[in-house]
Amino acid sequence: MLVKDVMSKNVITISPDESISEAIEKMAKNNISGLIVVENEKVVGVISESDIVREFGSKLPELKVSTSVTLSILLLLESGIKIINEMKKVGRLRVRDLMSKKVFFVRPEDTILDAARIMSKEDVRRLPVIDRDGKLVGVISRTDILRALLIEQ
């Protein structure tokens, strides 16, 4: 089975200049976990929930506790405020700051086995589908491949 037979043709994209908050909003609105990053009609990257969570997680303050209940509550409140501030900072970053710039892709004529091999080898969950002219024509995900395998049985 070929990539063009199972890929999603309605690709949700984002500009590298949009904010991480906008990326999160697009992902949530469309119930997807990643976006293809396009600039001047060319694929320049991929941004995923994992990229955002990794950045946010690296900024979280260490939680402190105390034997005193009152002091522990104050320390947790302080940590909560720091977490909210870090969330705001990450949300203001640009997509280009967190996106994966090394883009792996497939062509519409490639097999879904080719796509699965790339996904497995490179540990990615989705691949842009780019035609011979370099135009983005779709996206194929692990879920698309699994659905195709179910249909073939």
Q: Has residue 124 been placed in a domain?
A: yes
Q: Has residue 68 been placed in a domain?
A: no
Please answer whether residues 145 and 34 qualify as being in contact, where contact means their C-beta atoms are separated by less than 8 angstroms: no
- CATH code at position 134: 3.10.580.10
Per-residue pLDDT tens for 118-141? 999 999 999 999 999 889 999 999
pTM score: 0.77
Per-residue pLDDT tens for 24-83? 899 999 999 999 999 998 999 999 988 888 876 655 455 555 556 666 555 556 665 666
Q: Which domain holds residue 42?
A: 3-54+93-152
Residue 121 CA to residue 104 CA, distance in Å, equals 11
Judged by average pLDDT, the poorest of 7-11, 26-30, 110-114, 147-151 is 147-151
